[in-house]
Amino acid sequence: MLLNYKTVFSFLILSLLLCQKLAAQAYIKKSEIIKSYGPKYVSGVRSDGVKYIKYETLLNSEASGSYENIQVFYFKKLSDGTEGCFMWIVINPSSEINNWVSILNSKYVKINELIWKDYKYNMLYSIQLQEPLCMVKVEYDL
């Protein structure tokens, strides 16, 4: 399903809201992410042994036209034996950077050129531009 540019901002904001839910519930469980995002994902293990799940959604925006939005959630084993998310990365075309900067500027405290902090939940949001991609990383600032 291709989402048009009018829904891209809504999608990005909903993604950030899920991230706030992640922060409010330190290390949200993998099952909760799947419940929120659905069962259509790819799972894997990085070379360092960290497990992840990846969602891909087709979006459309004025800045980028049609593109694939990728969200990757990384997990570690919690004390109760379940897997909890400790980091989340969103990958979009670099042409989406202005949309992300606008959203992050409106919600969080800018602490560096491309880093924002949510002091309420102690989360860091950073943007890395690696042409042709824009990556937004969300992680706990412990």
31-66 pLDDT, tens digit each: 888 998 899 999 999 999 999 999 999 988 888 889
What number of H helices and E strands is found in the chain?
3, 9
Spatial separation of the C-alpha atoms in residues 22 and 121, rounded to whole Å: 9
Which structural domain range is residue 61 located in?
2-140
Q: 13 falls in which pLDDT band (50, 70, 90)?
A: low
Query: What pLDDT shows up at residue 48?
Result: 96
Q: Is residue 1 pLDDT above 50, yes or no? A: no
85-111 pLDDT, tens digit each: 989 999 999 999 998 999 899 999 999
pLDDT over 90, % of the chain: 54
The residues, ordered by sequence, that sit 6+ positions from 139 with a Cβ below 8 Å of its Cβ are: 86, 87, 88, 123, 124
Domains in the chain, number:
1
Spatial separation of the C-alpha atoms in residues 89 and 127, rounded to whole Å: 10
